[in-house]
């Protein structure tokens, strides 16, 4: 069967299309025939050997796929051949067949296309956590959203504009095409981060914040919440637009890891939250997120992902890693 291997850690040139042996299942596993595989930031991390390079290369990459169950192990209950599923394994999704444990499976509702489903169980859960569990966004607040046209950012924007009546969002992206998408999704203000100083633009929109010792508890302008999935140089600048007693959710580092020096804004009382969905696995918030995802799939208009042939894996991952993609990126693996 066709598969995409990580032959060596590092740049996308280490991704190679090759043949893989047909996997065999054990008693408590299922075999999934893959129709589509999704691209997520965890795939870039795995390719670059973060957080670990302990797994010897080569190995088949990919952490999410949708398809049809082909076979089930003798000890598997609740699943059967023919079921439409999304699988979220630790690896192996970039292949025509994958083996998964039932706990790694989510049923795909009949009305949801297999390719569209890939935008939700992982990305929407993160967006849900960002808005409700982490920042606890309230009506009347102002929000700064980095990478707003990405897989997570776009869903966060949709939540803020569809499920709240009075939350103002300034959305950042890197091209006019992305900005037009964000406008169509209801962003109140959009900023091209490649051609504008987003700090200056945000302070122009909402006025300068009150900062430092002498301003006491005054808040003035700026935003109540900043959602930052990019880190890098923005760790030196976001604080300049976050109001006193505001919240700063840092959930990724697509622009680099960077370092955070709090000495410049120590009197502003900003709550800094370096968060990951991993830490919420199995919690009440996790189960609330699951119910939110189920409701969203049943009631909201869904994203149409960008679909690529799996042979374009190198080019798509290169664009994804450098901010050159819009929305959810999906690979067509095999016809069902």
Q: pLDDT per residue over 94-139, tens digit each?
A: 999 999 999 999 999 999 999 999 999 999 999 999 999 999 999 9
Tokens of 285: 């918030």
At 252, the pLDDT band (50, 70, 90 cuts) reads very high
Domain boundaries, the chain: 2-119+304-332, 123-279
Mean pLDDT of 209-222: 96
Nearest C-alpha neighbor of 240 from the set 203, 275, 213: 203
Residue 336 scores a pLDDT above 90:
no
pLDDT digits (tens, 9 = 90+) for 254-289: 888 888 999 999 999 999 999 999 999 999 999 999
- Determine the angle formed by the axes of helices 151-162 and 176-184, rounding to 10 degrees: 30
Band the pLDDT of 335: cuts 50, 70, 90.
confident
Distance CA 98, CA 34 (A): 7
Q: Once rounded to an integer, what is the mean pLDDT over residues 281-300? A: 97
CA distance 12 to 288: 37
Q: What is the per-residue pLDDT across 14-55, written as a single tens digit (0 to 9) for each?
A: 999 999 999 999 999 999 999 999 999 999 999 999 989 999
- To the question of domain 123-279 being in CATH 3.40.50.300, the answer is no
Half-sphere exposure of 12 (CA within 13 A, CB side): 13
Helix ranges (DSSP H) in the chain: 41-47, 114-117, 123-128, 151-162, 176-184, 198-206, 284-299, 313-321
In eight-state DSSP terms, residue 163 is: S
Q: Provide the CB-side half-sphere exposure for 182 (13 A, CA).
A: 33
CA distance 245 to 267: 10
Q: What fold, for 2-119+304-332?
A: Quinone Oxidoreductase; Chain A, domain 1 (3.90.180)
Beta-carbon count within 10 A of 193 CB: 21
């Amino acid at each position: 069967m066709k598969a995409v291997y990580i032959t060596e850690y590092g740049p996308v040139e280490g991704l190679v299309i090759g043949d893989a042996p047909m996997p065999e299942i054990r008693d408590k596993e299922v075999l999934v025939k893959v129709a589509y595989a999704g691209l997520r930031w965890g795939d870039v991390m795995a390719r670059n050997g973060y957080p670990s390079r302990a797994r010897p290369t080569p190995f088949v990459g990919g952490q999410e796929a949708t398809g049809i169950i082909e076979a089930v192990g003798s000890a598997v209950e609740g699943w059967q051949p023919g079921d439409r599923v999304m699988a979220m394994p630790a690896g192996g999704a970039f292949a025509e067949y994958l083996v998964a444990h039932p706990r790694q499976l989510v049923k795909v509702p009949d009305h949801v296309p297999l390719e569209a489903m890939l935008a939700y169980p992982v990305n929407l859960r993160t967006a849900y956590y960002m808005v409700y569990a982490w920042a606890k966004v309230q009506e009347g607040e102002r929000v700064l959203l980095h990478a707003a046209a990405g897989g997570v950012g776009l869903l966060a924007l949709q939540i803020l504009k569809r499920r709240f009546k009075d939350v103002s969002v300034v959305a950042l992206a890197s091209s006019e095409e992305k900005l037009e998408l964000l406008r169509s999704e209801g962003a109140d203000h959009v900023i091209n981060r490649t051609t504008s100083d987003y700090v200056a633009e945000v302070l122009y929109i909402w006025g300068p914040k009150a900062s430092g010792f002498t301003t006491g508890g005054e808040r003035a302008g700026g935003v109540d919440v900043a959602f930052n999935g990019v880190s890098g140089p923005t760790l030196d600048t976001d604080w300049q637009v976050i109001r006193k007693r505001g919240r700063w959710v840092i959930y990724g580092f697509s622009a680099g890891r960077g370092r955070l020096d709090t000495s410049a804004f120590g009197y502003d009382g900003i709550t800094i939250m370096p968060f990951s969905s991993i830490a919420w696995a199995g919690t009440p918030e996790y189960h609330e997120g699951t119910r939110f995802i189920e409701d969203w799939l049943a009631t909201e208009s869904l994203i149409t992902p960008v679909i690529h042939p799996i042979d374009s894996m190198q080019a798509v991952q290169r664009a994804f890693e450098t901010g050159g993609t819009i929305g959810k990126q999906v690979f067509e693996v095999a016809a069902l």
